[in-house]
Structure 1
Amino acid sequence: MKVLHVVTLHTPTHDFGGPTRVALNLCRGLRARGDKAVLVALGDGFEGELPREVDGVPVRLFQARHVLPRFEVSGITSPAMLAGARRMMRSADVVHVHLMRDLVTLPMALIAARMGRPLVLQTHGMIDPTEKRVARAVDVLGLRWVLGKADAVLHLTAKERELTAAVAEPGRMAPAHRLVNGVEPQSMRAAAAPGRPPTVLYCARVQEGKRPRDFIAAMPTVLAKHPEARFVLAGPDTGALADDMLALARSLGVGHAVEYVGALDHAGVLERLRTSDVYVLPSVKDAFSVSVLESMSVGLPVVVTRTSGLAPDVAAAGAGRLVDSDPGADNGERVGQAVLELLEPAANAAASEAAWRLVQDSFSIEAVVDTLRGVYEQATRVVSARPSPSGPDAAGPAGPAGPVAPGPSTPAS
Structure 2
Amino acid sequence: MRVLHAVTLHSPTHAFGGPVRVALNLSKGLRARGHEAALVALGEGFDDPWPTEVEGVPARLYPARRLLPLGFSGMTSPALLARAGRLVRDADLVHVHLARDLVTLPVALAALRAGKPLVLQTHGMVDPSGKLLAKVLDAVAVRRLLRGAGAVLYLTPHEREALDAVVGGAGLDNTVRLVNGVPAQDERPPLAGPPRILYSARLQARKRPVDFVRAAALVREKVPDAEFVVAGPDEGELAAVAEAVGSLGLDDSVSVPGALTSAQVLTELRRAHVYVLPSVDEPFPMSVLEALAVGVPAVVTHSNGLARDIAGAGAGRAVEPGPEGVAAAVLELLDEEANRDASTAARKLAAESFSMDAVLDTLLDTYARVAG
Q: Do the two structures share a fold, i.e. TM-score over 0.5? A: yes
CA–CA distance in 2 between the matches of 1:298 and 1:106? 35
Corresponding residue number in structure 1 for 2:13: 13
Query: Does the aligned pair in 2 maintain the 1:148–1:169 contact within 8 Å?
Result: no
Q: TM-score, normalised by structure 2?
A: 0.98
What is the deviation of 1:281?
Answer: 0.2
Corresponding residue number in structure 1 for 2:219: 222
Q: Which runs of 5+ in 2 are unaligned?
A: none
Query: Does the aligned pair in 1 maintain the 2:165–2:171 contact within 8 Å?
Result: no
- Mapping of residues 32-47 of structure 1, within 5 Å: 32-47=32-47
- Mapping of residues 9-408 of structure 1, within 5 Å: 9-68=9-68, 70-171=69-170, 173-193=172-192, 196-239=193-236, 241-325=237-321, 331-381=322-372
CA–CA distance in 2 between the matches of 1:282 and 1:85? 38
Query: Does the aligned pair in 2 maintain the 1:149–1:174 contact within 8 Å?
Result: no
What is the deviation of 1:53?
Answer: 1.1
What is the deviation of 1:255?
Answer: 2.4
CA–CA distance in 1 between the matches of 2:239 and 2:255? 11
CA–CA distance in 2 between the matches of 1:336 and 1:357? 25
Q: Percent identity?
A: 54
Deviations 1:171-199 (A, max 9, x none): 36351000001111011112212xx1000
CA–CA distance in 2 between the matches of 1:5 and 1:88? 10
What is the deviation of 1:35?
Answer: 0.5
CA–CA distance in 2 between the matches of 1:172 and 1:286? 23
CA–CA distance in 1 between the matches of 2:19 and 2:135? 22
**Letter paired with 2:334:** L
**Letter paired with 2:45:** G
Query: Does the aligned pair in 1 maintain the 2:163–2:171 contact within 8 Å?
Result: no
What is the deviation of 1:110?
Answer: 1.0
Over the aligned positions, Cα root-mean-square deviation in angstroms equals 1.1
**Letter paired with 1:4:** L
Aligned partner of residue 218 in structure 1, secondary structure: helix
Aligned partner of residue 34 in structure 1, secondary structure: coil
Query: Does the aligned pair in 2 maintain the 1:42–1:64 contact within 8 Å?
Result: yes
Deviations 1:229-253 (A, max 9, x none): 00011111122x2232122122112
CA–CA distance in 2 between the matches of 1:105 and 1:95? 11
Structure 1 stretches (4+) deviating beyond 3 angstroms? none
Deviations 1:39-76 (A, max 9, x none): 000001222232111112111101111111x1111011
CA–CA distance in 2 between the matches of 1:220 and 1:88? 51
Aligned pair count? Answer: 372
Aligned partner of residue 84 in structure 1, secondary structure: helix
CA–CA distance in 2 between the matches of 1:238 and 1:58? 29
CA–CA distance in 2 between the matches of 1:174 and 1:147? 10
CA–CA distance in 2 between the matches of 1:313 and 1:26? 22
Query: Does the aligned pair in 2 maintain the 1:280–1:303 contact within 8 Å?
Result: yes
What is the deviation of 1:7?
Answer: 0.2
Q: TM-score, normalised by structure 1?
A: 0.88
**Letter paired with 1:372:** L
CA–CA distance in 1 between the matches of 2:58 and 2:173? 29
What is the deviation of 1:256?
Answer: 1.6
Aligned partner of residue 280 in structure 1, secondary structure: strand
Query: Does the aligned pair in 2 maintain the 1:296–1:359 contact within 8 Å?
Result: yes
Deviations 1:205-238 (A, max 9, x none): 1111110011001012211111000001111112
CA–CA distance in 2 between the matches of 1:134 and 1:270? 37
Query: Does the aligned pair in 1 maintain the 2:84–2:106 contact within 8 Å?
Result: no
